[in-house]
């Protein structure tokens, strides 16, 4: 049963990564907060049905049936979409959208959102990132710098629990870390090779949101030490990695100030022309289709970049016929993503007497090293990269069935194969006006909401960056003595990076941006957009840590202004 009240101090739309942080900060400050989520409730531990299952307990041993993959081509291309966690992913068939250009939109509609299935990589931005647009001229200037976000990075890291090393790299500021896992022998070898051959490149342990050594704040959240099971996308019953379900939402709930309303499709934000502010939201029950309106002094939009853009576009009024806050026609434009097309693999012929025992929740990471201190290439910005090394058994039979296969396996004598190494790029793409999200004028979904159109694509800058990744990493692999080096362009469409950003960008000038430095709409100050839609540019780092820091900062400021009577 939900509370009957329709009046709150604050409403948060979206119960995922950033929405959980908005709700936590608001509830801690004493605001009666309504947290709306369009999908079903997922309670920590209770609703992780596959968390402790063995491989043989799945009908298809973890693989998705061909029929389902064919019916859902976008989601089927996602690396994390498997039989053990398919219930956390949105099927293409259930929530269609229009691809004006190919785009694989990966979604998780439930309480917790994609924080249940994320890759858990967490890196801070630096001033090289925040100052990038002003220096390179490819977007508008960010209205904030690293110093504005630094204390919020610290607050988030301490609460979430981030494992990493203090690496002393200016392009990747150090944070508040729990102990890191060790790189394996081949990763350490490559780390040493890169250090010996390059002054500007570093191989580090990939900082990740896992509790290697839980502190009192984590135990107070009822979370435990990460056991490195690497079954994270099923939901972790231990709470060893951060999710909104295990951390921020329960923390907000225990204040007594949170009302969680799942299965709530927000149709629009309601604008009051008399006050010049938003007064509430209109919600459609996902199951019954009944409509209800809620009122609040503050509205926080954390539905994920594309859905947040769509909601603002659908929130029309006499004052904003083209969408709430869209005074300059920029709403839904300048969206961007990360370029993950580049892969490189090779063989390491050394360390044949060693193998890795057990699992680790992260791997190696190479921070950006291109165009940092000066423009040195024919493309703008740069890329980061992951680095992994592993070996497995070869010679095990894979043909046959039943008793025949069993006898073949027992009779075979598999041996360890060579160490295989690999890296993948994470390139910054440029926000462009022709990259957009908008609404279909006639086609609707089953809740009567306009279908979303998405158009993003690669450009010449991306192609040049991709080739540079191949060239530079081929050279690094050669200098390390790796053999059989092979590069591969996956040709994947935008979207599989799952890092869509922009469309409601922050900026200093209301003529060229939609949000101010506190994530408030320039023309409707009590609407705060603090998810990926607010991003002015993309950088190379995984964005979730920055989303959380921005959301916490924006919520704190909004409450301050509300208490002062200036909002």
User: Which structure tokens are listed for 484?
Assistant: 């059989």
| Assigned token pair, 186 | 């081949």
Tell how strand 258-261 and strand 436-444 pair up: unpaired
Task: Look at the alpha carbons of 387, 391, 395, 397 in this order and tell me if their dihedral is positive or negative.
Answer: negative
Q: Using alpha carbons only, how large is the chain's radius of gyration in Å?
A: 24
Residue 333 DSSP class? B
- For residue 402, the model assigns a pLDDT of 81
Q: Which contacts (CB < 8 Å, 24+ apart) does range 251-254 have?
A: 251/24, 251/28, 251/221, 252/20, 252/23, 252/24, 252/26, 252/27, 252/28, 252/33, 252/35, 253/27
Of 248, 276, 315, 306, nearest to 33 by C-alpha is 248
Sorted by where each starts, the structural domains of the chain and their CATH numbers stand as 7-564 (3.50.50.60)
Question: Is the backbone of residue 112 left (phi > 0), alpha (psi -120 to 50) or beta?
Answer: left
Partner residues linked to 226 by β-bridges: none
CB 68 within 8 A of CB 77: no
The answer to whether 148 and 517 have CB atoms below 8 angstroms apart is yes
| Category of 476 on φ-ψ map: left (φ > 0), alpha (ψ -120 to 50) or beta | alpha
Asked if residue 278 lies in contact with residue 527, where contact means CB atoms within 8 angstroms, the answer is yes
Cα gap 34→22, rounded to integer Å: 11
Strand partners, 271: 278
Q: What distance in Å separates the CA atoms of residue 86 and residue 237, rounded to the nearest whole number?
A: 17
In 3D, which of 97, 109, 453, 442 has the Cα closest to residue 286?
109
Answer whether 21's CB lies under 8 Å from 551's CB: yes
pLDDT at 170: 97
Assess contact for 423 and 386: CB atoms under 8 A.
yes
Contact 550, 124 (CB under 8 A): no
Question: Cα–Cα distance between 546 and 538 in angstroms, integer?
Answer: 11
- Locus of tokens 């951060």: 242
Close Cβ partners of 546 (under 8 Å, ≥ 6 residues apart): 124, 125, 149, 153, 535
| DSSP category for residue 450 | E
The H-or-E segment that residue 218 falls in is helix 216-220
From 208, 200, 44, select the one nearest 118 (Cα to Cα): 208
Q: For residue 58, what are its two tokens?
A: 């799945």
* 123 contact partners, CB below 8 Å, separation of at least 6: 172, 207, 365, 367, 384, 541, 542, 545
**What is the spatial distance between Cα 567 and Cα 561, in angstroms, rounded to a whole number?**
5
Structure confidence at residue 2 (pLDDT): 43
- Backbone torsions φ then ψ of 421, nearest 5 degrees: -115, 155
Q: What kind and span of H or E run contains 489?
A: strand 483-489
Q: Give the residue among 149, 360, 146, 127 at the shortest CA–CA distance from 241.
A: 360
What is the token pair recorded at 187? 């990763």
103, two tokens: 């785009």
Per run of 10 residues, the mean pLDDT along the chain (length 567 residues) is 74 98 98 98 98 93 92 94 96 95 98 97 98 92 98 98 98 98 97 97 98 98 96 96 98 98 98 97 98 98 98 98 98 98 98 91 97 96 98 79 79 86 98 97 97 98 98 98 98 97 98 98 98 97 98 98 94
- Residues 486 and 120: their CA atoms lie apart, in Å, by 28
How far apart (Å, rounded) are the C-alpha atoms in residues 183 and 206? Answer: 9
Question: What whole-number distance in Å separates Cα of residue 61 and Cα of residue 84?
Answer: 9
pLDDT of residue 358: 85
Residue 446: DSSP 8-state: T
- Residue 4: the pLDDT is 58
Task: Tell me how far apart the alpha carbons of residues 451 and 471 are, in angstroms, rounded to a whole number.
Answer: 41
Q: Which residues of 40-59 are buried (b: 16+ CB within 10 A; e: fewer)?
A: ebbebeebbebbeeeeeeee
H-assigned helices in 43-182:
66-71, 73-76, 127-130, 132-136, 146-160
Residues for the chain: how many in total? 567
| Residues 90, 304 contacting (CB under 8 angstroms) | no
Q: In whole angstroms, what is the distance from residue 105 CA to residue 540 CA?
A: 20
- What's the rounded Cα separation, in Å, for the pair 215 and 225? 10
- H/E stretch holding 7 reads strand 7-13
> How far apart, in whole angstroms, are the C-alpha atoms of residue 487 and residue 558?
48
- Model pLDDT, residue 71: 93
CA–CA separation, 153 vs 146, rounded Å? 10
């Amino acid at each position: 049963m939900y509370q009957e009240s329709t009046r709150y101090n604050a409403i948060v739309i979206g119960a995922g990564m950033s929405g959980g942080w908005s709700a936590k900060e608001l509830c801690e400050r004493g605001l009666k907060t309504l947290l709306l989520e369009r999908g079903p409730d997922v309670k920590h531990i209770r609703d992780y049905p596959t968390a402790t299952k063995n491989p043989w307990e799945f009908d298809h041993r973890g693989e998705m049936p061909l029929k389902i993959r064919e019916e859902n081509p976008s989601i089927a291309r996602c690396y994390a979409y498997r039989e053990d966690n398919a219930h956390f992913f949105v099927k293409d068939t259930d929530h269609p959208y229009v691809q004006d250009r190919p785009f694989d939109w990966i979604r998780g509609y439930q309480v917790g959102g994609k924080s249940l299935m994320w890759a858990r990589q967490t890196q801070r931005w630096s001033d090289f990132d925040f100052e990038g647009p002003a220096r390179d001229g490819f977007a508008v200037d960010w209205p904030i710098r690293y110093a504005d976000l630094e204390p919020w990075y610290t607050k988030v890291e301490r609460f979430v629990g981030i494992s990493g090393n203090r690496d002393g790299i200016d392009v990747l500021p150090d944070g508040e870390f729990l102990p890191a896992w060790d790189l394996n022998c081949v990763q350490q070898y490559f780390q040493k090779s890169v250090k010996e051959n390059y002054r500007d490149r570093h191989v580090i342990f990939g900082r990740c949101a896992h509790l290697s050594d839980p502190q009192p704040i984590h135990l107070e959240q009822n979370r435990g030490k990460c056991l490195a099971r690497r079954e994270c996308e099923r939901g972790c019953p231990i709470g060893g990695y951060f999710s909104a379900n295990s951390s921020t939402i329960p923390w907000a709930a225990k204040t007594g100030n949170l009302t969680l309303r799942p299965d709530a499709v927000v149709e629009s934000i309601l604008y009051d022309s008399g006050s010049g502010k938003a007064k509430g939201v209109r919600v459609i029950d996902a199951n019954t289709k009944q409509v209800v309106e809620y009122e609040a002094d503050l509205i926080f939009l954390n539905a994920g970049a594309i859905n947040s853009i769509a909601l603002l576009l659908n929130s029309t009024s006499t004052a904003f016929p083209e969408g709430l806050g869209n005074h300059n026609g920029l709403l839904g434009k300048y969206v961007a993503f990360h370029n993950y097309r580049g892969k490189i693999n090779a063989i390491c012929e050394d360390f044949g007497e060693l193998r890795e025992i057990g699992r680790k929740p992260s791997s190696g990471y190479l921070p950006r090293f291109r165009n940092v201190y000066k423009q040195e290439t024919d493309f703008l910005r740069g890329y980061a990269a992951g680095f992994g090394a592993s070996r497995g058994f070869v010679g095990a039979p894979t043909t046959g069935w039943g008793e025949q296969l069993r006898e073949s396996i027992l009779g075979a004598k598999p041996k360890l194969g060579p160490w295989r190494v690999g890296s993948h790029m994470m390139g910054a793409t440029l926000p462009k006006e022709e990259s957009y999200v908008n609404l279909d004028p006639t086609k609707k979904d089953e809740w009567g909401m306009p279908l979303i159109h998405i158009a993003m694509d690669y450009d010449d800058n991306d192609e040049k960056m991709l080739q540079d990744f191949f060239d530079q990493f081929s050279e690094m692999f050669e200098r390390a003595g790796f053999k059989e080096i092979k590069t591969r362009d996956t040709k994947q469409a935008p979207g599989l990076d799952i890092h869509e950003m922009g469309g409601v960008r922050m900026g200093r000038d209301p003529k060229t941006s939609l949000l101010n430095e506190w994530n408030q709409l320039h023309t409707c100050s009590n609407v705060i957009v603090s998810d990926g839609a607010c991003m002015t540019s993309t950088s190379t780092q995984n964005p979730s840590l920055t989303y959380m820091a921005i959301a916490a900062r924006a919520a704190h400021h909004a409450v301050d202004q509300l208490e002062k009577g200036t909002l």
